[in-house]
Amino acid sequence: MYDIIIIGAGTAGISAYKEAIKHTQNVLIINKGPWDTTCARVGCMPSKVLISTANRMHDIQNAQEVALNVKSAIDTSQVMEHVQTLRNRFTRATLRDVESWNVEHKISGEAKFINPNTIEVNEKQYRAKSFIIAVGSTPSYDQNWKNEIGDKLITSDEIFELNTLPKSIAAIGSGVIAIELAQAMHRLGVETTIFARSKKVGVLSSSTLQNIAQDELSKELNIKFEVLPSQIKNTESGVEIHFTENNQSKSIHVDYILNATGRNTYLPSLALENIDPAFSDLKKLPIDLKSKQLSSLPIFIIGDAFTRTPLQHEAANEGREVISSCLNFPKVSNLNTLTPLGIVFSNPEMAIVGQSYANLTKSNIEFITGFVSYEKQGRALVLGKNKGAIEVYVDKNSRKLLGAELFVESAEHMAHLLSWMIGEELTIDDILKKPFYHPTLEEGLRTALKHARRQLR
Ligand SMILES: Cc1cc2nc3c(=O)[nH]c(=O)nc-3n(C[C@H](O)[C@H](O)[C@H](O)COP(=O)(O)OP(=O)(O)OC[C@H]3O[C@@H](n4cnc5c(N)ncnc54)[C@H](O)[C@@H]3O)c2cc1C
C-alpha cells in the first residue's frame, strides 16, 4: 500500500509529487497523456509567446503613437514555428524533470477508483493510504459543431499546433482565454470576429472598468456582444457562420472557429461513484474549500480539477500544501491560501487582486473606491499607452487595502505589488509612505490611492 497516490501530473500533481518525496519514497503518480503539463504545452506558455509576438507587431505598426513614421513589411510566416519552438523548449524542461524521477514512482495511464482506497490503471489495481486528485480540465466545445465542421473547430488544445496563421478566425467566447487568443490573432493580421454570449470581456467585475474595457477593446476588435452563431457549416469557401445581429440575419466565412467557452473538469474519468454513489453528482461533491478534502476521506482534489481560480500558481501552491494532510491523516489542515491574483494578458492587461469589486459589494464590508484614469497619466502618455483605468478598494474602518481591479499597460507588475501589499495587510497610509519613482505607471496607482484616502478623511 502506497502512502500517497497522486492522479494527474500537471502543475498541481508535479508540485505535490516534489513535496511528497521530501517525506516518503512510497509514492505513486499516475498520468494520462503527455507529462509536460497543460500550462507548458497548451496553456500559459504558448499563449504568452503568441501574445508577445502579436503585441510587438502591433507596436511596430502603431509606432506613430511615439512619433515614428514606420513603413513596415512584416512577414508572419514564421510565427507559429516560433510559438512551437519556444513551447517545446518549455515542455522539454518539464519532461527532463519528470524523466529524472524514480521510474518506480510513475505510471502512464488513466486512473479510476474501484473503492475508497483502491484505483485501477491499465487493468492493475493500486492501494494507498491517501489520494491526491489533480486531473485538471479540458476545453469544452459543442459536439454538434464538431460533427459538422471537424478539424475546423479548434480549441486552445489545437491552436498552437497550426502550421501557419489562418487568414480568418471566429472566436466563440469573451472570457480570459478567448480574449487573449483572439486579440493576439487579430494583431497578427488574422481577420478575427468574436462572438460573446454576454456583454462582458475578460474578468473585471467592476462595471466602471468593465465598460472601459469593452469600449477600449471594441475600438480594436470586432466583438459581437450578446450574439452567438445560430448555424455553422463547412463550405468550399470555409466555415459559414450564420447569426442574427441587430435583428438582421447575417453570415461570414472563416478558416477556423476557435471555441473558447470554458473548460470541463476531468473528474468524470475517475469513477468517483465507486467511492460513494452520492459522488456521481459532481456538482454536489462534498469538498471542503479550505482543505480540499473530499468528504471525510483521505482524498484531496486540487488544481483545475475543482477550483474557482484556474491558475498555475494556485495549482502549484495547492500541490505543495496538501501533502501534510495526506501524511498526517486524519489530521487535516487548511491550505495556506495566497492573496488572490489573476491577470489577463489582453492589451491593455486586466487584473484582479485581493477582493474583487463584486465580492466586496456582496459582503458586508464597508469600503470606498479610489479611481484613476490612465488617459492623461504622464508615463502612460510617454509610452503611447495611455488607456484604461485602475480602481482600488479600501476598508472604511481599518483603512486597509482590500483589493483592486486594473485595466492598464503593465497591469501584471502593478497587480503583483498590490497583492503583496494586501497580503501584508497594509493600510492606505502605509502604502502612500512607500517610494513612488517618477515618472512611472505606479504614480497612477498613487493617484488612485490618494483618491481613496481623500474619501476616508
Ligand atoms: C490557453 C490557456 C492559457 C492559460 N494561461 C494562464 C496564465 O497565463 N497564467 C495562469 O496562471 N494560468 C493560465 N492557464 C491555466 C493553467 O494552465 C492551469 O491553471 C494549470 O495548468 C492547471 O494545472 P493542473 O495541474 O490542475 O492541471 P493539468 O496541468 O491539466 O494536469 C492534469 C493532468 O491530469 C491528467 N489526467 C486527467 N484525468 C486523468 C485520469 N483519470 N488519470 C490520470 N491522469 C489524468 C491530464 O491528462 C493532465 O496531464 C491557462 C490555461 C490555458 C488553457
Proportion of the chain above pLDDT 70, given as a percent: 100
Q: Is any atom of ligand 1 closer than 6 Å to the C-beta of 265?
A: no
Q: What is the mean pLDDT of the chain?
A: 98
Cα(311)–Cα(353) distance, integer angstroms: 13
Q: Is any atom of ligand 1 closer than 6 Å to the C-beta of 272?
A: no
Cα(317)–Cα(328) distance, integer angstroms: 18
Report how many helices (DSSP H) and strands (DSSP E) the chain contains, helices first.
14, 22
The answer to whether 2-139+263-328 and 143-259 have equal CATH topology is yes
Contact 250, 242 (CB under 8 A): yes
Q: Inter-axis angle of helices 442-456 and 411-423, to 10 degrees?
A: 40
pLDDT at 446 over 90: yes
Look up the pTM and report it. Answer: 0.97
| Best probe residue, ligand 1, of 19, 28, 35, 38 (max atoms within 8 Å of C-beta) | 38
Q: Which of 312, 280, 285 is nearest to 299 (CA)?
A: 285
Segment 441-451 mean pLDDT:
98
| Residue 72: predicted pLDDT | 84
b/e 29-57 (16+ beta carbons within 10 angstroms → b) = bbbbbbbbbbbbbbbbbbbbbbbebbbeb
In the chain, what are the domain boundaries? 2-139+263-328, 143-259, 341-456
Return the residue whose CA atom lies nearest to atom 28 of ligand 1.
Answer: 10
b/e 68-84 (16+ beta carbons within 10 angstroms → b) = eeeeeeeeeeebbeebb
Query: pLDDT grade, residue 56 (50/70/90)?
Result: very high
Q: Is any atom of ligand 1 closer than 6 Å to the C-beta of 14?
A: no
Atom of ligand 1 at shortest range from CA of 8? 34
- Which residue in this structure is represented by grid cell 476598508? 395
Query: pLDDT grade, residue 457 (50/70/90)?
Result: confident
What are the backbone angles phi and psi of residue 394, rounded to the nearest 5°? -125, 135
Strands 118-121 and 111-115: antiparallel
| Residue 383: predicted pLDDT | 97
The identity of residue 148, as a single letter, is E
Atom of ligand 1 at shortest range from CA of 342? 11
Radius of gyration of the chain measured on its C-alpha atoms: 24
Q: Is any atom of ligand 1 closer than 6 Å to the C-beta of 45?
A: no
Query: pLDDT grade, residue 203 (50/70/90)?
Result: very high
Segment 261-266 mean pLDDT:
97
Tell me how far the alpha carbon of residue 171 lies from the centroid of ligand 1, in angstroms. 21
b/e 206-239 (16+ beta carbons within 10 angstroms → b) = beebbebbbebbeeebebbbebebeebeeeeebb
Q: Is 396 annotated as ligand-binding?
A: no
Strands 256-259 and 153-154: parallel
List 369's β-bridge partners, or say none: 393
| Best probe residue, ligand 1, of 50, 124, 312, 345 (max atoms within 8 Å of C-beta) | 312
b/e 411-426 (16+ beta carbons within 10 angstroms → b) = beebbeebbebbeeeb
What are the backbone angles phi and psi of residue 407, rounded to the nearest 5°? -145, 80
Proportion of the chain above pLDDT 90, given as a percent: 99
* Residue-wise pLDDT tens digits, 297-347: 999 999 999 999 999 999 999 999 999 999 999 999 999 999 999 999 999
What are the backbone angles phi and psi of residue 57, rounded to the nearest 5°? -65, -40
Question: What would the DSSP string read from start to end of 5-27?
Answer: EEE--SHHHHHHHHHHTTT-S-E
Q: Which of 260, 139, 258 is nearest to 191 (CA)?
A: 258
Fold of the CATH domain 2-139+263-328: FAD/NAD(P)-binding domain (3.50.50)
| Residue 98: predicted pLDDT | 98
By CB neighbour count within 10 A (0-12 exposed, 13-18 middle, 19+ buried), where does 296 fall?
exposed
CATH of segment(s) 341-456: 3.30.390.30
Query: pLDDT grade, residue 90 (50/70/90)?
Result: very high
| Residue 346: predicted pLDDT | 98
Contact 377, 417 (CB under 8 A): no
Tell me how far the alpha carbon of residue 133 lies from the centroid of ligand 1, in angstroms. 12
What are the backbone angles phi and psi of residue 157, rounded to the nearest 5°? -70, -25
* Residue-wise pLDDT tens digits, 335-386: 999 999 999 999 999 999 999 999 999 999 999 999 999 999 999 999 999 9
* Residue-wise pLDDT tens digits, 103-124: 999 999 999 999 999 999 999 9
Segment 430-443 mean pLDDT:
98
Tell me how far the alpha carbon of residue 143 lies from the centroid of ligand 1, in angstroms. 22
| Residue 407: predicted pLDDT | 99
CB atoms within 10 A of CB 109: 14
* Residue-wise pLDDT tens digits, 138-151: 999 999 999 999 99
Cα(346)–Cα(181) distance, integer angstroms: 9
pLDDT at 41 over 90: yes
Tell me how far the alpha carbon of residue 41 lies from the centroid of ligand 1, in angstroms. 9
Indicate the Cα dihedral angle 36, 38, 44, 47, nearest 10°.
100
| Residue 425: predicted pLDDT | 98
Q: Which of 415, 417, 347, 411 is nearest to 53 (CA)?
A: 347
| Residue 310: predicted pLDDT | 97
Task: Tell me if the domain spanning 143-259 has CATH number 3.50.50.60.
Answer: yes
C-alpha cell at 53: 509576438
Atom of ligand 1 at shortest range from CA of 307? 26
Q: On the CB side of 402, how many CA atoms lie within 13 Å of its CA?
A: 22
Q: Is any atom of ligand 1 closer than 6 Å to the C-beta of 202?
A: no
| Residue 410: predicted pLDDT | 97
What distance separates the 2 farthest-apart alpha carbons in the chain? 69
- Point out the residues that are catalytic: 438
